[in-house]
A and B are shown apart, each in its own frame.
Chain A
Amino acid sequence: MSTYTLRAKHRRSTLRTLAFLSPWLIGFTVFFAYPLVSTVYFSFMRYDGFRPPVWTGTKNWTYVFEHYPLFWPALRNTLWLVVIMVTLRVAFGLGVGLLITKIKTATGVFRTLFYLPYLAPPVAATMAFAFLLNPGTGPVNSLLEKTGLPAPGWFNDPSWSKPALTLLALWGIGDLMVIFMAALLDVPKEQYEAAQLDGATPWQRFRYVTLPNISPIVVFAVVTGVIQTMQYYTQPLIAGKVASGVIQGAGTLFEPGYPDKSTLTLPQLVYNLGFQRFDYGSACVVALVLFALSMAFTALLMRRKGGLIQAGER
């Protein structure tokens, strides 16, 4: 083949690749790269959407870190949720995944029942839980009182609101259950048999056979869980709104993070600063903090041999 035809062929294959990738190339530029750069740009601007933007240097940054009363509580809440909610979700998801592999009767029914809550739309699920956990009229507390157990204030008590959100998150464990179940069924049976012959206890079999085999999935679940928690928005917002009894459009001002800032997360601050206070510049500062945190966790994923990255390297 002459050089000419080779080059033509090469050019054709490049064009073909570009053609197939073109929707995403446009999408990436317009809906990812450009807004990301703009976010950085606006974080140094004073901009309310009406008057033209004014360069203010690092003023937005010092405002957010030093004077905006909601920033540090929101960051603390986000970290609380990342550590406690993610850990419990992964542990519980693995537990339920293990349980479902052991159930031999009506497995399909159990699996469907365990999975359904995952499908409940977040707003609907949160409304349901705000009602169920309502200290005054909710069925959960009336059951707890009937059995003589303490009945907490849940979404109305700052020290119980995050555990209540965690409970809601544990209820929607269906996706993790399915992923863990698939991974558990993939563990080679011979390894269990060999361990059994060696007289390993059930715990030892779990520790030395199951866990090493499913560790990429555990890493995957942790990292995606952390990323999801960075975006945690709808559930804490709705829970706070419903529990505080705010009536939309009635002139009632919603206390962000009700009760006592305890359900405030970083994404809510972007909304609060940008769309309620029309301080787009400071909203971009919070957005960039969120970006830095998520990228740090994504980098962790890229380094560890998690499920996602095996895919990327293939």
Chain B
Amino acid sequence: MTQVLDKPLELKAPPSPAERTARRRSLLEWIAVHSLGIAAALFFTLPFVFVLLTSLMSDSQALSRDLIPHTWEWDNYRKVFDTPGFLTWWRNTLFYAFLGTALTVISSIPVAYALAKFRFRGRNLALMLVISMMMLPPQVIIIPMYLFWAKQLDLSGSLWPLIIPMAFGDAFSIFLLRQFLTTIPDEYVDAAKVDGCGDLRTLLKVVLPMAKPGIAAVALFQFFYAWNDYFGPQIYASENPGAWTLSYGLESFKGAHHTDWNLTMAATVLVMAPVILVFFFAQKAFVEGVTLTGVKG
């Protein structure tokens, strides 16, 4: 306390009229920006809040127009887990997401490295083709792909037709990683060469440790892709409920519990929650990845 009192009070000259209008304007701007910010925050968060509140309502109240639960039915979440199949969907989703992510990362790294650091004829063409693959709606080639996996290899009713292709590089991951690797100066690569490192060793010992944030971003995107995928499981796994994933099963949940909005919303929360949890642990890598796709050339 005394410390504060010891300090001489700073006396400021009274603000001039011009300064006063400037200050008033900046205050008004501050208020405008923050009111808009709060309005936007409500738009982005209220859906989550309503879903959470409904997931804790009783069956009958979920059909009413009330916004706040009368009694908090935490039991709803247990009921969701008791629904036949729900745990299987979890297992399948985790399997698809983890194995798919691992395969994608392992197979995309060397391709991205070659596209970023090797000089060879047709490099730009290769890059263009990667971008075209990225742009192609999956529905364009789904008929021959389905016939290939289901009729020729007899793998329908499983997630393998979605997992196996990930061992052969994923266009988006290659592109994103390549973007990241171009930001690593060539000098590091050249220095490793001078020291007698082969290509593979240069990649593993020099480039990869520096590329960790890029790899983390690719892994996260791929994980979320598998987690969110609806079309793939619908095509290949729909006939076999034992192979369903959370995203695919969730929709059928609404069917099984036709009017139970409370249970449906509890299941919805349970499908959203892991993604959001992962995000909080890996926020930086994720945001960096999003930026990399759009901004850094």
Seen from chain A, the residues whose Cβ lies within 8 Å of a Cβ on chain B are 13-14, 16-17, 19-21, 23-24, 26-28, 30-32, 34-36, 38-39, 42, 49, 96, 99-100, 102-105, 110, 112-117, 119-125, 127-129, 131-132, 137, 139, 142-143, 171, 175, 178-179, 182-183, 186, 217, 220-221, 224, 227, 230-231, 233-234, 238, 241-242, 245-250, 266-267, 270-271, 274-275, 280, 283-284, 287-288, 290-291, 294-295, 297-298, 301-302, 307-308, 310-314
Contacts and interface: CB of A to CB of B under 8 A. Distances in A.
Contact of A20 (B67, B113, B165, B234): B113
Contact of B255 (A49, A246, A312): A246
Nearest to A177: B290
Interface of B: 29-30, 33-34, 36-37, 40-41, 43-45, 47-48, 50-51, 54, 62-65, 67, 107-108, 110-111, 113-115, 118, 120, 124, 126-133, 135-148, 151, 165, 167-169, 174-175, 179, 182, 199, 224, 227-228, 230-231, 234-235, 246-248, 250-252, 254-256, 258, 261, 264-265, 268, 271-272, 275-276, 279, 283, 287, 290-291, 293-297
A267 B297 contact: no
A119 B265 contact: no
Contact of B268 (A16, A127, A287): A127
Given A121-B227, A227-B135, 13 more contacts: A16-B199, A23-B108, A27-B107, A35-B145, A36-B140, A116-B45, A124-B247, A137-B62, A183-B295, A231-B138, A245-B258, A274-B142, A290-B140
A27 B62 contact: no
Nearest to B283: A112
Contacts of B290: 175, 178-179
B65 A39 contact: no
B148 A35 contact: yes
A167 to B, nearest CB: 9
B64 to A, nearest CB: 7
Nearest to A252: B255
Contacts of A307: 294-295, 297
Q: Which 10 A-B pairs have the closest CB atoms?
A: A27-B168, A38-B144, A35-B141, A248-B255, A179-B294, A20-B114, A310-B297, A24-B169, A35-B144, A23-B107
Contact of A17 (B30, B51, B114, B294): B114
Counting chain B CB atoms within 10 Å of each CB, the highest count among A31, A42, A186 belongs to A31
Contact of A298 (B63, B118, B135, B148): B135
Nearest to A298: B135
A183 to B, nearest CB: 6
Contacts, number: 275
A245 B258 CA distance: 8
Given A21-B111, A128-B47, A171-B47, A120 B255 contact: no
Contact of A32 (B120, B128, B141): B141
B37 A32 contact: no
A105 B251 contact: no
A274 B235 CA distance: 10
A297 B250 CA distance: 33
16 contacts: A21-B114, A23-B167, A27-B168, A31-B168, A39-B140, A116-B279, A119-B275, A119-B279, A217-B294, A220-B294, A230-B137, A250-B255, A267-B231, A271-B234, A298-B132, A308-B131
Contacts of B264: 127, 131
Contacts of A234: 230-231
Contact of B65 (A137, A183, A310): A137
Contacts of A116: 44-45, 48, 276, 279
A220 B297 CA distance: 12
Contacts of A231: 137-139
A127 B297 contact: no
Nearest to B39: A99
B115 to A, nearest CB: 8
Contact of B111 (A20, A217, A230, A271): A20
Contacts of A302: 128
A139 B97 CA distance: 34
A277 to B, nearest CB: 12
Contacts of A132: 47, 50-51
B276 A294 contact: no
A137 B63 contact: yes
A123 B51 contact: no
Given A39-B141, A116-B44, A178-B287, A28 B165 contact: no
A21 to B, nearest CB: 5
A117 B131 contact: no
A186 B258 CA distance: 50
Nearest to A105: B34
Contact of B47 (A103, A117, A122, A248): A117
Contacts of A310: 297
B97 to A, nearest CB: 11
A129 B43 CA distance: 12
B135 A34 contact: no
A182 B293 CA distance: 11
A129 B136 CA distance: 28
A42 B144 contact: yes
Contacts of A35: 141, 143-145, 148
Contacts of A27: 107, 165, 168-169
A247 B43 CA distance: 31
Contacts of B45: 113, 116
